[in-house]
């Protein structure tokens, strides 16, 4: 069963959604049959990749929120993060253009390390306060996952992977996806936003039963039946 997840590195709800989704998946007996594909999405593609802002500045200058409102929103998201096992460090987080980070994610996908890279990017941005638009930071993250430095730098600084990132973004537009995180379950169902663990669990179970499991048992309990070993009541 394939799960496609559209996400942006600087979206805190994407990190919360990732953790809740993974907690739900761990509780399911078919977790080994699930393939996860991370897809690129940019919340603010107009940001200058050579500049950074702190979170309060960003909400004030780009979104027009008063400082008190921005502070309150950040506090609420931080509380949600704690419920998902994340200690957000918004005081250190640096808002910047994430296109290069998405290129690194696509490189990691070629090494079967996209989930590990997504986690590394979230930690770098939200916990460690690193600039995920800085090529040196991104190369370091790649190296930590065993990806060659030169390969990573080329992927980040060239336009080799631009088309793949843009294809994800265009696919999101074509499917009417305007916010993230957005989870597409085996091409049939969708889950939007950082939903609680139980919502993800129920959605995954329903999708598996309807699209993977050969039959959906509606009986609710085992009835009298026979198999190759005999009959039981």
Identify the structural domains of the chain with CATH numbers, from first to last: 2-211 (3.40.30.10)
Contacts 24+ apart (CB under 8 A), 169-178: 169/40, 169/41, 169/42, 171/39, 172/6, 172/39, 172/41, 177/6, 177/41
| Residue 203 pLDDT | 97
Count of other CB atoms within 10 angstroms of residue 163: 10
Instruction: Look at the block and give the residue holding tokens 């919502």.
Output: 199
CB distance 10 to 183 below 8 Å:
no
CA dihedral 77, 82, 182, 197 (to 10 degrees): -140
> What are the CA-CA distances from residue 18 to residues 13, 64, 135, 219 (Å)?
8, 28, 25, 34
| Residue 188 pLDDT | 93
Mean pLDDT by 10 residues, the chain (233 residues): 97 97 97 97 94 92 88 95 96 96 98 98 98 97 98 97 98 95 96 97 96 61 54 57
| Residue 218 pLDDT | 47
Strand locations in the chain (E): 2-7, 35-40, 53-54, 94-95, 182-185, 189-192, 225-227, 230-232
| Calpha distance 159→151 (Å, rounded) | 13
């Amino acid at each position: 069963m394939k799960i496609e997840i559209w996400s942006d590195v600087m979206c805190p709800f994407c990190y919360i959604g990732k953790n809740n989704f993974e907690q739900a998946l761990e509780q399911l007996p078919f977790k080994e049959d699930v393939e996860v594909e991370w897809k690129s999405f940019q919340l603010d593609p107009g940001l200058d990749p050579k500049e950074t802002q702190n979170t309060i500045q960003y909400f004030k200058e780009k979104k027009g929120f008063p400082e008190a409102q921005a502070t309150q929103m950040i506090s609420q998201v931080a509380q949600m993060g704690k419920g998902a096992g994340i200690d957000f460090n918004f005081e250190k987080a640096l808002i910047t253009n994430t296109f290069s980070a998405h290129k690194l994610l696509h490189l990691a996908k070629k090494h079967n390390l996209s989930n590990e890279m997504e986690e590394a990017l979230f930690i770098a941005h939200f916990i460690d306060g690193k600039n995920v638009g800085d090529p040196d930071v991104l190369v370091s993250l790649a190296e930590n996952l065993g990806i060659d430095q030169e390969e990573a730098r080329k992927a980040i600084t060239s336009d080799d992977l631009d088309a793949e990132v843009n294809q994800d973004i265009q696919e999101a537009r074509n499917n009417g996806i305007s916010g993230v995180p957005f989870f597409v379950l085996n091409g049939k169902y969708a889950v939007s936003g950082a939903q609680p663990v139980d919502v993800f669990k129920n959605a995954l179970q329903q999708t598996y039963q309807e699209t993977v499991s050969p039959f959906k048992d509606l009986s609710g309990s085992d009835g009298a039946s026979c198999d190759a070993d005999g009959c039981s009541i």
